[in-house]
Every structure is written in C-alpha cells, then in structure tokens.
Amino acid sequence: MSCFQGLFFCPEAASLLLHNFCIYHISPPGHELGAASIHPDEPVPSVDDLADQVIEVLNYFGLGAVMCMGVTAGAYILTLFALKYRERVLGLILISPLCKAPSWSEWLYNKVVSNFLYFYGMCGFVKEYLLQRYFSQEVRGDADVQESDIVQACRKLLDERKSINVLRFLQAINGRPDITEGLRRLKCRTLIFVGDDSPFHSEALYMTSKLDRRYSALVEVQSCGSMVTEEQPHAMLIPMEYFFMGYGLYRPYRFSESPRSPLSPSCISPELLSPESMGLKLKPIKTRVSLQTEKGRER
C-alpha cells in the first residue's frame, strides 16, 4: 500500500478515482498488513502464480472486467495478468513498469540482496538498495539535505516487513520471463508513467515501443524516481482524466473550481482518506486454500 498512499491522499486524485471506481488493493503474499512470516518450506511462487492469484481475488469478490494499476514489479504482474486473462482487464495504468527478464547485472545484484535478506534480515544495505530503486536522489537526500518525509515513511514500512516474505517476492521477480513478445497483442488501453530518474526509465520506454500505439500512451515525469505515485502524484491527474474519458468516465464537474486542476480538493471529505473508507478491501483473503482444508475447519 505504500506505493499508493501519496496518490490516494492527494484529494484531487482520490476524488477522481473514487468517483469512478471501488478500489481493491492486492498485496503480494506475506506483504499484507500484519502478515506473519511465511514458512520456509512453502514453495516460492512464480510470477505466473502471482498473476493467477489476481484472477482468484477477482472471482472471490465476484468482479468482472477491471481497471488495473501497478508500480514496478506490480506493474509487471498486472501486465502478465492482462496477457493471460484479456477479457478481465479494461485497461492498465502502469508506473515504471518492467517487461523484460532481469539483466545479468540486475539478476546478480538481486541475488546479493537476497543473501543479505536471508542472513541479516531487513538491514541497512537492503533498505538503501530498495530506496534507490523507488525514489529519486532529490527526495532521498544526501549528507547536506535531509531525506524527505515519504522516504522516511517508506523506510519505516520496510522495517515492519518480514524479511523472509520480502526475500520470496524478490526471488519470484528475479525469475521473471521476458513478456515483450505478447505486448503487441495487448488490446486494452495502457497508460504508462515513469520518472526521468527511475532506474526503470529505459525499460518503460522500451515497453512503450512494443505496445500498439493506438492503445497506449507514455508520460515521462521530470525530476522523479520510480514511484511517481508518491513523489509527484499531481503529475498523474490530467493524463488519468483524459485516459478515463476514453471509457466514458468523467470527473464530477459540479465540484470543479480550477481550470488547472481536474478536481477541487473540497469534493472529498477528510474521513474518506482513511484506507477503510476509501473502498479498499483490507481484510486479507487466502487464495488456493484447498476445499478439504475448509471442510476440516468447519468440522
């Protein structure tokens, strides 16, 4: 959820999204609020397994076709999901997405980080590695400039994560295949955001070049890292509004006050900014629970 707090706590963006959607947030296994450590004997899921779990969540809640939004690795999973279950995806909003298999340097570096996670847990080296992938140098700060509040908040959230769960997710992403060949067949509309300072900037450009130009658009955000949703959520407002117009979805015009902004902050009350009130389904559900197990619990 830390990838989306900046976007949803931006009143204009929150009102644009909540006016048109009920939001379902899907966390990777072991990353939900209050998650316990996953047993080491549990098999590490593949990216295909993670994409298949998305369809299980949709079926659990009785959802049909949905609009998907994901950041970096999450964007990859949702793109793979869209390739596998095309009829269930109306559109994709991808932030600093991946589409290629990891390069040798990325694969090796992830292996090193995985070893640190295994032996030392969520140590300073691992946190710095992840923060460099998430944020631009400007918000990370340096010896003379203090790191920003969003980086401090992310650092705290990383401390709360179980290292074995983060390790398993990193292993899954490090084993991802190249999905470039399927991108041309992707017919749902796709809106891609990427920061100029993101380590995934070149991959986002590459992915855009492989998509059908009739259905895709790229927005490059200056002086921003991978998490555009956190660093510059306001930069997403106008492109998202035009993107939604293609589906006949519009902002609530009666609340509009500024020609510069899609929405007025006054159109959403503060109490709606809590996760429980934003339409977020926070109660964890388990996928792939066997029917026999459920019957045993009922007994």
* Res 146: pLDDT: 86
- Beta-carbon-side half-sphere exposure of residue 7 (alpha carbons within 13 Å): 21
First to last CA, the chain: 36
pLDDT value of position 274: 45
Strand (E) or helix (H) holding 10: none
Looking at residue 40, its pLDDT comes to 87
Longest dimension (CA), the chain: 63
* b (16+ CB within 10 A) / e for 132-164: ebbbbeebbeeeeeebbebbeebbeebeebbbb
* pLDDT at position 16: 86
What per-residue confidence (pLDDT) applies to 259? 38
| Regions of the chain with pLDDT less than 50 | 255-284, 288-299
Contacts of 90 (CB under 8 A, 6+ apart): 65, 66, 67, 188, 189, 247
Nearest-Å Rg of the Cα atoms of the chain is 19
Please tell me the predicted confidence (pLDDT) of residue 101. 97
For residue 268 the two structure tokens come to 């959403």
CA atoms of 138 and 148, how far apart (whole Å): 9
Give the pLDDT score at 283: 43
Distance, in Å, from the CA atom of 79 to the CA atom of 137, rounded to the nearest integer, reads 28
